[in-house]
Structure 1
Amino acid sequence: MGIQDIIEGKKQWRAHVARVKALPPDYQIVYKEMQRYLFKVGPVDLHDGPLLPGIVDFFEEGVAAGKGVLQLIGNDVAAFCDELIKDTPTYADAYQESISAKPGTDKK
């Protein structure tokens, strides 16, 4: 990864954060909770994948339609996030595999 890649990544992240800050306050709160949850148990490719920008797109569409954030995702943020990542390998999955592996085996 070169310096240009790092600079471009930072530009993209700052643009993403600006889009989140443009959302109504209730959407921002729920987005931050989703982000916190996904960073803890989320997919291994979360940082460079389309999931977070896709959530912002979904929220922007909800705002444009005049819907509240809970109308879009329901009352359980974790359940909504789990549904989003159900077919994706997560850090939690990798951890479970590592602790259930037999000692002395090199499982990659």
Structure 2
Amino acid sequence: MSEVENSGFLSKVIGPKKRWRAYKARVKELPGNHRAAVEAIERYLMHFVPTDADSNVSMFEDLVDLFEQAAADGTPIRAIVGEDPVEFVDAFVQNYSEGGYVPGSARKRLTAALARAAGEDAGEEDRTA
């Protein structure tokens, strides 16, 4: 186990390990594009300052609920996140936390990753997401 996993920081970000593992298992079961979108949003959400572990893990569980239902209904990624994924995620997170500053580079990575998940060409955006 790494020092980060031993610290209280990780538990504040992801919440109780059992719930986090269950969330990750559910994400793994999503169809490829929906899984890629959730993982991109997850990376983006890690930039927010956590308020409490229960709120944060609930946020991730609700996120996977949304994408599981969308996948079951055949809803495309863009129908979920719209044209501005940063706006979607910022509105989504307001239900759970005050949030924190998110660097512009994280916003660009999220936008590019969701464009790829939606099957669109991400252009010259950062492809490291």
Task: Tell me which interval the TM-score lies in, with the shorter structure as reference length.
Answer: 0.5 to 0.7
Identity rate, percent: 29
* Runs ≥4 residues deviating over 3 A: none
Asked which structure has the greater CA Rg, the reply is 1
Give me the CA root mean square deviation: 2.5
Match of 1:30 in 2: 37
Residue 92 (structure 2) pairs with residue 84 (structure 1): yes
Match of 1:103 in 2: none
Contact 1:30 1:77 in 2 (8 A): no
Under a length normalisation based on structure 1, what TM-score does the superposition of the two structures give? Answer: 0.67
Describe how 1:4-19 pairs up with structure 2 within 5 A: 9-19=16-26
Deviation per residue, 1:13-69 (Å, 9 max, x gap): 1111010000011111111111111111x2523643111100100111111111112
CA apart distance, 1:11: 2.0
> How many pairs align?
86
Match of 1:60 in 2: 68
Under a length normalisation based on structure 2, what TM-score does the superposition of the two structures give? Answer: 0.57
Stretches of structure 1 lacking an aligned partner (at least 5 in a row) = 1-5, 94-108
- How far apart are the structure 1 equivalents of 2:93 and 2:39? 17
Stretches of structure 2 lacking an aligned partner (at least 5 in a row) = 1-10, 103-129
Contact 2:16 2:53 in 1 (8 A): no
SS of equivalent to 1:91: coil
